[in-house]
Amino acid sequence: MKKLILTYGIVSGLVTSAMVLFTISGSPIVKEYGELIGYGTMIIAFSTIFIAIKTYRDKYLKGKITFFNAFKIGLGVTLIATVIYIVSWMIISETIAKDFMTEYFQQSVEKLKTSDLSEAEINKKIAEMENFKELYKNPIVKIGMTFLEIFPVGFVISLVSALILKRKPASG
């Protein structure tokens, strides 16, 4: 089971890390739909969870697996992919995407200024974003935020995959 979790976790982590490299490319489409592209890629990458559980169930357990064991496999894959994603982002954000937060902040301010919000609301949101930008300079905060980007997606896919793939052994 460990080898299976490691293999699928690494594949998932590499796919999500490649997505990060792609989304920081700066193309207009990516700027407009970057979040959608990112989460879509995470869902695709985490399809490895379903494959890992099904493979383990069918190949090693004769087609039977409990919800708990299936969920455990999914969480294992999720954790490995999450660690790879975080390490990748920490390296990328300190090397080729040093200005990411500044650029993201500027884009967000531009969007706010064209929104229907009042000037007071815009100024309040800008102040909140400036506070977040300052917090994000702390590596612990950055790691935590990066964790919260990816882990919940893998958690939900693990849960759904375990529910779909669980099969109890025939009693008797």
For residue range 59-112, list pLDDT tens digits in order: 999 999 999 999 999 999 999 999 999 999 999 999 988 888 888 788 888 888
**CA distance to 46, 70, 87, 103, 143, per residue, from 90 (Å):** 21, 30, 5, 17, 8
Statement: residue 32 has pLDDT above 80: no
Residues 57/60/65/70 CA torsion (nearest 10 deg): -60
pLDDT of residue 72: 97
27: pLDDT confidence band, cut at 50, 70 and 90? low
Instruction: Tell which phi-psi region holds residue 115, choosing left (phi > 0), alpha (psi between -120 and 50) or beta.
Output: beta
CA angle 162, 43, 34 (to 5 degrees): 160
Task: Give me the percent of the chain exceeding a pLDDT of 90.
Answer: 56
Q: Which residue has the higher pLDDT, 91 or 119?
A: 91
pLDDT of residue 102: 82
Where residue 26 falls among pLDDT bands split at 50, 70, 90?
Answer: low
Confidence of residue 121 (pLDDT cuts 50, 70, 90): confident
Prediction pTM value: 0.86
1 DSSP 8-state letter: -
Residue 51 CB coordination number (10 Å) = 16
CA–CA gap between residue 40 and residue 33 (Å, rounded): 10
Average pLDDT, the chain: 90
pLDDT band at 15 (very low <50, low <70, confident <90, very high): very high
In this structure, what token pair is assigned to residue 65?
A: 């697996």
